[in-house]
A and B are shown apart, each in its own frame.
Chain A
Amino acid sequence: MKHTLEFEKPIAELEKKLDELKSHEASGSLSVSFQEEIALIEKKIRDTRETIFSNLTAHQRVMLARHPKRPYTLDYIREVFDHFTELHGDRLFADDRAMVGGFASIDDSQVMVIGTQKGRDTKENILRNFGSAHPEGYRKAMRLMKMADKFGLPIVTLIDTAGAYPGIGAEERHIAEAIAVNLREMMLLEVPILAIVIGEGGSGGALGIGVADKVMILENAYYSVISPEGCAAILWKSSEAVPQAAECLRITADQLKSLKLVDQIIPEPLGGAQNDVSAVATSMRQVISQTLKQLGSMGVSDRMKARYDRFRAFGQFIES
């Protein structure tokens, strides 16, 4: 079933009309031809799509980033990497299915790939906790990253989470510490690290696997300190302010790029990544292999210093 977002409705209506015309045409029930009208509507659809998708608001991009048909981490892993072999568990408490990770290869080189994973349907979402990891997810990620570091494998992380899970068990097992330790330890890993925000970059839960040498983002993904909903509730005390909050927070790929908070944008087809997964995967594969080559050519201490300096530079203030 096709899923239509609110702002895509004008396109959906035109498509419905087009289908009607086409079925009349095919059945020959009316003895006139609609070829001309069909061509006209097809053009109108193309124009409307072009207009809508080249003028997306921040809030509309957030909706696209959360699109139920949007490719998730494992979809990209399948398309981009070869021989993915999942590894499980944090060796302490559980295997958090909201965080996946394992060996894979790209360009015949082995890498460690790790990412937050959402579910496609209700059943899988219960298993994946809607992509919101518990402490054990972040600890599993760190376990795999430390192993990668020990054996010299570059790390690729794919980020797609509304945030770390706000739950009782998560607090009891110290979700804050699990994330904080990752922030500290990722800074000291000697291997190259590339992070790609593929959908939702939800605050600390995203950053918990996001301390990388290079941080890329898909065109319609977002990365934010707080969800637009959370920000609207706190600052405007109204859910009607969500689009405004989304705009003010500067969370879209192009805004983040212009603030130098991300290094590169990976383009998506018109309407979003769900319309052509393999096209996005092809660009992603190129970006990953180029970036890993470039990072791999640096000396360890240079690379680590550059990573430190990358994050060290963030922040604006005056001193007078």
Chain B
Amino acid sequence: MTEPVDPSESKLKTRALPGVETREPSITPPPSASDQTPLKRPKPVSGGPRKRLMPEGIWTKCPKCQETIYRKELEAKLNVCWQCGYHFPLTAWERVSSLIDGDSFVQADSEMSSVDVLSFPGYLSKLESNQQKTGMKDAVITGLGLLHGRKVALGVMDFGFNGGSMGSVVGEKLTRIIESATEQSLPVIICSTSGGARMYEGMFSLMQMAKTCGALAYHGREKLPFISVLTDPTMAGVMASFASVGDLILAEPAARIGFAGPRVIKDTTKAELPKGFQTAEFLRDHGLIDAIVPRKELKGRLAWYLDCLMASRDAAQA
């Protein structure tokens, strides 16, 4: 682990940010009609280490604006369509490298993997196929690294691994990295994307919600900041636990965020869902999250927020 650089450098970088108020217009236009049927959104492709998942060819099509785009250029632009701003999903590793300085990331618990604790039919083969598909052991990457020179504890989920579902491994890895952050007085950043708790591990999955929130309770008691970044989609058991208790809660544009699935709500209430229901913009307009941050601004914004939240600590250490 490289030591954090001189904090003054971090401040310089912060000041050099293209302004802290570069957020999108405070009232973004309502999401387009295509956002209204979130679960039917075309399955986008992603770059990075999971290349073999992508269809052959050097071009891809933006599912929102239908523009044909050059895949290499898309990757260079953090998988954001430069025509319409559509945020393609990122793999966990792509997200890590988009946030962490150079090669400063030191992964924790890289070998931890799930066991079929309930002998649930089909779980082992599901795990195996997800491991093969993603090259990951489970649905989260955790570790310590530098973000604009500041040492942070980072957890990043990957929707490609069984819908980013949280079982024992996701809960344990996040809890451990939060506990490390508490011990080392570090801020925690978790980028979530998940369909919820992992059914295959039954009640053990549900208990990860309490476990992660408990670790954050003790982290927060030390007046250490936790920033939750919600990416598309973050639902159910993950949303009803660590993802919702950030000192700051940020979301990527148009990310689907909620507790119950839209179909369940529709079936239960027999009501039409409001326009843009359960999108990042809907949550912001209802006062439920702090800000929507476009992906290309995320790293700089996180650095600035941490400069604010850690200001008195930084001053005490200077």
Contacts and interface: CB of A to CB of B under 8 A. Distances in A.
Task: Report if A and B associate in a common complex.
Answer: yes
Interface of A: 164-168, 170-177, 179-181, 183-185, 187-188, 203-204, 207-208, 210-211, 223-226, 231, 234-235, 248-251, 256, 259, 261, 308, 311-312, 314-320
B202 A225 contact: yes
Residue from A165, A207, A259, A320 whose CB has the most chain B CB atoms within 10 Å: A207
B197 interface: yes
B259 A308 contact: no
B117 interface: yes
Given A177-B288, A211-B213, A315-B211, 17 more contacts: A166-B261, A170-B260, A173-B286, A175-B259, A180-B213, A180-B241, A183-B213, A184-B214, A184-B217, A188-B218, A203-B237, A207-B206, A225-B237, A259-B204, A312-B175, A315-B169, A317-B115
B71 to A, nearest CB: 33
B225 to A, nearest CB: 14
B5 interface: no
A187 B217 contact: yes
Contact of B214 (A174, A183, A208, A234): A183
A311 B244 contact: no
Contact of A171 (B118, B204, B217, B259): B259
Nearest to A244: B121
B213 to A, nearest CB: 4
Interface stretch (B11-19, B83-91, B146-154, B264-272): B264-272
Which of A164, A172, A173 has its CB near the most chain B CB atoms (within 10 A)? A172
Given A180-B242, A235-B199, A317 B265 contact: no
Contact of A314 (B207, B268, B274): B207
Nearest to B213: A183
B203 A224 contact: yes
B244 to A, nearest CB: 4
27 contacts: A164-B240, A166-B261, A166-B265, A166-B268, A167-B265, A174-B244, A175-B260, A176-B239, A176-B240, A180-B239, A187-B214, A207-B209, A208-B240, A224-B206, A225-B201, A225-B237, A235-B122, A248-B120, A249-B203, A261-B207, A308-B214, A314-B168, A314-B210, A316-B204, A318-B113, A319-B112, A320-B111
Contacts of A261: 203-204, 207
Contacts of A319: 109, 111-113
Q: Which 9 A-B pairs have the closest CB atoms?
A: A166-B260, A315-B168, A314-B207, A183-B213, A180-B244, A176-B259, A176-B239, A187-B214, A225-B206
B259 A166 contact: yes
A194 B62 CA distance: 52
A319 B260 CA distance: 33
Contacts of A315: 167-169, 171-172, 204, 207-208, 211
Contact of A226 (B112, B197, B209, B218): B197
B277 interface: yes
A261 B117 CA distance: 13
B258 interface: yes
A193 B215 CA distance: 18
A174 B288 contact: yes
B118 A168 contact: no
B244 A314 contact: no
B286 A317 contact: no
Interface in B201-235: 201-211, 213-218, 220-221
A309 B237 CA distance: 21
A318 B209 CA distance: 20
B248 interface: no
Contacts of A223: 203
A203 B175 CA distance: 20
Given A167-B265, A188-B217, A225-B197, A176 B244 contact: yes
